[in-house]
Chain A
Amino acid sequence: MNPEPTNIWQRLEYSNLGTTVAESTWMFPTIETIHVFALVTVIGTIALVDLRLVGVKGHALRVSQLAKDTLPWTWGAFVLAAITGTLLFVSKATSYTINPWFLGKMVLLAMAGLNMVYFHLTTWRAVDHWELDPSFPPAAKLAGWLSLVFWLGVVFCGRAIGFTLGIYY
């Protein structure tokens, strides 16, 4: 039996859902594997658009068309990554919330999201006007670079969590 929870993270970890995932021999690795399927799809499809924004060509597609082709995959996979990520989190909530790499990953995810929202509300609105230009506006290139850096950071922190979970307490 678990001790009486004293905060929300313990409450989550000791919940039925949390203990079910934690105590099963196959659930955590299986959810983790689905998390990998989802995150490589998110990273790969986002990088295709980002690299295009920063000036890597190699495709006759306009960037708005490329984004239309990739975005449904990005969002579908992101939802799957969020669901599987939440399940992994709940099973060891107290270990994650004190892990600096986990906290860093959440901050970087938020920054990647803010960068995307800002870009979509500003420069991207006029994409029809600049996507046929030989060089994209600096704001578009910057958004592409920031997105690449934030997502690289997310992957690095995610991997670092796996090597440091349990050493902080």
Chain B
Amino acid sequence: MDELLFNLTEWLRSTPLTELALWISDTSLSGWIVTHFWAIPIIQVVHILAISASFAAVLMLNARIYGVAGHATLGETSRRYTKILWGSLVVLVISGFFMIMGEPVRELVNPYFWIKMVLVALGIVVTALFSRSVSRQAATSDTVGGGAKATAAFLIILWCVIMWCGRWIAYAPV
């Protein structure tokens, strides 16, 4: 596994991403973040709070779908948590952007970062399809079919793997 990640880093280094990262590090925004010690920790705190909001939203919607948090109707639950989920995803993208600006080489020339980006893209597509399907089913019933149930569980695992990759950006073999 380490070997694979190491080779991926080597390959990333040979692409124009290296040049892009170096160009970003010359921008004034990047320079500002680098010279302010607390900028990165604060951006990371915002990122963590947004992860908390989105993960709790997915968790509580799943709990409702699996029948262990049954006080509100499915339609109501799905409307509420979908709104929180998309709102926090916007905050995640913005705070993530500033993290890339602050540490471009560490992020862009990093195998975990790119695995994470692919999984995030997958997560957004699956979430969009999933929430459409749930709200359609919620219009006529208070339960969902097996497909939506399986997708709900898949999304929890996917977000955990995404968090895993995010945390391990700091531990990429170089």
Which of B41, B49, B54, B164 touches A163 (beta carbons < 8 Å)?
B41
Nearest A residue to B165, CB-CB: A33
Contacts of B59 in A (CB 8 A): 41, 44-45, 73
Q: For the complex, what is the distance from the CA of A47 to the CA of B76, rounded to whole Å?
A: 19
Q: For the complex, what is the distance from the CA of A160 to the CA of B49, rounded to whole Å?
A: 15
Beta-carbon contact of B71 and A47 below 8 Å:
no
User: What total of chain B residues lie within 8 Å of the partner, measured CB to CB?
Assistant: 34
Extra pairs beyond A69-B64, A156-B42 (12, CB < 8 Å)? A33-B167, A33-B168, A36-B163, A41-B59, A45-B56, A59-B76, A65-B71, A66-B71, A72-B68, A152-B45, A152-B49, A163-B41
Contacts of A47 in B (CB 8 A): 52-53, 56
Q: For the complex, what is the distance from the CA of A61 to the CA of B74, rounded to whole Å?
A: 12
Q: For the complex, what is the distance from the CA of A166 to the CA of B148, rounded to whole Å?
A: 47
0/1 interface trace, chain A 26-70, chain B, CB 8 Å (1 if under)? 000100110011011101110110000000001111100110111
Majority secondary structure of chain B interface residues (helix, strand, loop or mixed):
helix
Q: Which residue numbers of A lie inside 8 Å of B, CB to CB?
A: 29, 32-33, 36-37, 39-41, 43-45, 47-48, 58-62, 65-66, 68-70, 72-73, 152, 155-156, 159-160, 162-163
B72 CB to closest chain A CB, in angstroms?
5
Beta-carbon contact of B60 and A70 below 8 Å:
yes
Q: Which 7 A-B pairs have the closest CB atoms?
A: A44-B56, A69-B69, A44-B52, A65-B71, A43-B52, A40-B52, A33-B167
